Amino acid sequence: MIQIRTISKIPEIKGKKVLLRVDFNVPISKETGEIQDDTRIVEALNTINYLRLKGAKLIIMSHLGRPDGEVKEELRLTKIAQHLEKLLEVKVKKLDQVIGNEVKKAISEMKDGEIIMLENLRFHSEEEKCEENFTKELANLGEIFVNDAFGTAHRKHSSTAGIANYLPAYGGLLIDKEIRELAPLLTESIARPLTMIFGGSKIDTKIGIIKNFINKADYFLIGGGLANTFLNAAGYNTGQSLCEKEKLHIAQEIMLECEKNREKLILPKDVVVAGEVNDEAETATVPVQDVLGDMKILDIGRLTADRYCEVIQKSGTVIWNGPLGVTEYKPFQNGSRMIADCLANHPCTSIIGGGDTADCIKKLNIPVKAFTHISTGGGACIEFLEGKSLPGIEILEK
């Protein structure tokens, strides 16, 4: 079991400048600019309140989106800070810079228990490069570093790992909770059968975990754009569907490795297709062998969902990462809804991995309490379950 230094081990918090890395990379509506799902913000409140009430001068750091080292107005953290202020019912002072004299001045004027939020870290390209001078400048803003951003723990960035070279580092309550919930899945003592459900669009992010679990998992259920690549690799026409043609050999390798047990890797038998992707799209459900022309596969069909539910109902542990359809639009939500309902009503250990899957669950209005654990990390959850050492956790280990 991984053991980390947590904030309960900080010898003295009162009056100390605490740099807190959180993951407030939440979905924001392109139309309204409003936060669509605040789960990651809510999950960080326990750590924020713990440090604040202990008298820390709390300096919150996060990223939002992928600005690629440029200032992008729509990716400023202003609305995030305003939302956090409402949740805490405490003033959160938002700064428009990450480093510099104005930031230093604002921090020097802080009183115990006050909160400042820095601007989007990724407005600086040095952040993702873990560039030494930028990292030192960040570290100079505080006296203690707390990492509570599980969603970025797999990244070696200045604010997730680099700062720990210059400041004493501790894990927040959320990152500790994630480790405690996920670590048992790396042992052999989990309830069987173990079923892993994979959706989403890209095969790259799923390869490692599928390969790592080929001899550990009993079933792999595949949906989303990921399934299109596997179907294409199996010889089916996928029409105009999202499909990573350059990754077909990888899908074929995985299918060959799973062939010893023909029931291990299960692909869709029927799919929901449409010519366009929107809320008014006209859909049809067809067997996978009937997909052709300009059809786009946008969800798993009912027969496939029923088959997947049969597997779930006999499983002892289920890990789900990635929606099984384009759930941003109502016509393509049914497959994910059927799976989510089935999993919510089955008394197994159920782990929902990642931002997109968590957003999907919330969109479908299924109570989060129905699942054993909903992780705040997508890529981080996958890499953790692969057994990889995550930079943002490695710096916290005892």
Supply the residues annotated as catalytic: 40, 202, 355, 379
Spatial distance between the Cα atoms of 129 and 126, rounded to a whole number of angstroms: 5
Q: What is the DSSP letter of 388?
A: P
Spatial distance between the Cα atoms of 297 and 270, rounded to a whole number of angstroms: 10
Strand partners, 219: 195
CB 202 within 8 A of CB 41: no
Strand order of the β-sheet with 270-274 is 283-287, 270-274, 296-300
CB 52 within 8 A of CB 90: yes
Kindly list the distances between the CA atom of residue 225 and the CA atoms of 88, 94, 206, 217, 357, in Å, as whole numbers in the listed order. 39, 38, 12, 21, 14
Strand order of the β-sheet with 144-147 is 92-94, 115-117, 57-61, 17-21, 144-147, 169-171
Spatial distance between the Cα atoms of 332 and 342, rounded to a whole number of angstroms: 17
